Amino acid sequence: MNFLARLWDAIVGELRVGDIGEAMRDAIAVREAFHFSLLGIRIVVADSVVVTWGVMVLLAIAAFFLGRRLKEIPKGMQIAVEGLVDGVVSVCANAMDRKLAERTAPYVGTIGLFIAFSNLTSILKIPPPAKNPAFAIALALATIFYVIATGIRMVGLKGFWQSLLYPNKALLPFKLLDYMIKPISLSLRLFGNVFGAFILMEFIYIVVPAVIPGVLGLWFDIADGILQGLIFAYLTVIYIGEILENAHEAQARAKLQIRRRT
């Protein structure tokens, strides 16, 4: 009984009673990392920008060292890296042929790894950049521009236009609207999931800082962060695959109509 009483006192002692609302507002606030003046204009650099560049530098360094001295017969880390690359190419190949998949894989793999590692900063109690909506919006816009540019590069400008008109010309306004909705969907999905998980974990750290955060952190800080990177990358592949499929279907229909006329 004495042991249970001491255990209960320890748990209760870990509970933080205070202004939870104020603590939450402080946790989710976008903080200034530093600022500088340019032509008399004060430019503020947020903490999310610093973390973003930090992750990019670390990934660039890792890519540099992992890409050096590659051998014909892989060993050690080279096996893991080649397995990761082959996995990304295989995912891309589900929506396009192998050659096109190899051309698409570098961006898809990079964006997936970048988002995953950016989200994993929460393990170190560093707020993930995606809790700032500007981060998610920037990635979504860059991705949709990449999707359109890649689609045009693969099927040509005519093929891309045909993909917008397939299966019916009346759908053109909706297809154009879809390209405005896609970046909104991508950004909201990334921001919503990461921000929600961050808020939940911060609340738990404030109210019950012992044991429970460590258990839930395995999902919200690690698994969910990696999952969001995978989802973002996979949707990029799907969007490109839609362009290719619609363009090919439109071209096949046009050829069939020509044959029927002749």
pLDDT in tens, the chain (262 residues): 554 555 445 444 444 444 555 555 665 566 777 777 878 788 877 788 888 999 999 999 998 888 887 787 777 788 888 888 899 999 999 889 899 999 999 999 999 999 999 988 888 878 888 888 889 999 999 999 999 999 999 999 999 999 998 888 888 999 999 999 999 999 999 988 888 777 777 767 766 655 555 566 566 677 888 889 999 999 999 999 999 999 888 888 877 777 777 6
Residue 59, both tokens:
């990934």
pLDDT confidence of residue 17: 46
pLDDT at 258: 74
CA distances from 153 to 95, 128, 165, 178 (A): 16, 34, 18, 20
Q: Where are the domains of the chain?
A: 31-261
**123, 211 contact by CB (below 8 A):** no
pLDDT score of 16: 47
How many degrees, rounded to 5, is the angle at CA 55 between CA 126 and CA 200? 30
What distance, in Å, lies between the first and last C-alpha atoms of the chain? Answer: 94
Closest CA to 97 of 237, 261, 253: 237
Query: How many CA atoms lie within 13 Å of 112's alpha carbon, on the beta-carbon side?
Result: 22
pLDDT at residue 209, rounded to an integer: 59
Record the tokens describing residue 250, joined without a space: 């439109």
**Rounded distance between C-alpha atoms, residue 188 and residue 224, angstroms:** 15
What's the CA angle centered on 96, arms 85 and 77, to 5 degrees?
A: 5
Kindly give, in sequence order, each residue whose CB lies less than 8 Å from that of residue 172, ignoring residues fewer than 6 positions away.
164, 165
DSSP string, 2-51: HHHHHHHHHHHHH---S-HHHHHHHHHS--EEEEEEETTEEEEEEHHHHH
Does the predicted model carry a pTM greater than 0.85? no
